[in-house]
Chain A
């Protein structure tokens, strides 16, 4: 499918978003700050999907957009700052003895990220 320019019409409730457009392989295609209520972003893409990552202060919001470049010219995206925004996630970890269920007194675990959700 030939590449084509896709125009994203971004509508934001606040004008301080940092927007990242990511392809399905988590490659960043474009990164920009939304300075106004409405922004247009034009980007060359073939058909498929992209992920939009909108960041507002400590909150991060992900959205996947599917499109067919033969039919789509403009894609409208509306970001509204509400409880659907994902924070960096609070994770509680428990570590117990496999044989006795005894809570481990003292340990240090390393978590190394393999792949982000972009």
Chain B
């Protein structure tokens, strides 16, 4: 009986095989749980055919979007983000919503190790009304099963217009003045 090892690179592989039914197993798939390969059988019957298989991972990635791009920054309160290829052109899976704590959670992602991380790419699609999105595609190196990353969303600057007039002579514009606006929000 025939026995083939088929190498998969970037999702595809090929092999000339004798007709028949086969048991299929994954013997190498870094970042993924090899026991989740599906299906586990394959029948070769037609002249040229394609066998489609899937495999699953069990890592969890949390991406926190905030005003500093680091732990502890003021988070945004809504938005959306999606997994993509390195160019950002191809989206993978569903769009994930950012919650009121600035967190987007991606379950079942592949991961490697600290020495050999599994690189994933993401693109932020929207932020809340007071913040700007992170414009570029960003990469995350998954080096452990559970991981948190921080992404910067700057506050939006909105043009404000002010008038200063004489309190005792209605409508008389004040010729020359400087007003100071200090934030009353607590830092950190």
- A residues bordering B, Cβ < 8 Å? 60, 62, 86-117
Contacts and interface: CB of A to CB of B under 8 A. Distances in A.
A86 B16 CA distance: 12
Main secondary structure on chain A at its contact with chain B? strand
B165 interface: no
Contact of A89 (B5, B26, B48, B107): B48
B50 A91 contact: yes
A103 B4 CA distance: 21
Interface in B15-43: 15-32, 36-38, 41-42
Contacts of A86: 19, 47
A116 B92 contact: no
A94 B5 CA distance: 14
A77 B107 CA distance: 60
Contacts, number: 194
B120 to A, nearest CB: 8
Contacts of A97: 32, 54-57, 92, 110
A98 B36 contact: yes
A97 to B, nearest CB: 7
A99 B93 contact: yes
Contacts of B22: 111-114
Contacts of B12: 92-95, 103
Contacts of A98: 36, 38, 54-56, 108
A108 B3 CA distance: 13
Given A89-B48, A98-B55, A111-B24, 15 more contacts: A62-B19, A91-B48, A94-B12, A95-B8, A97-B110, A100-B109, A101-B92, A104-B32, A107-B26, A107-B30, A107-B55, A109-B8, A109-B26, A112-B25, A114-B22
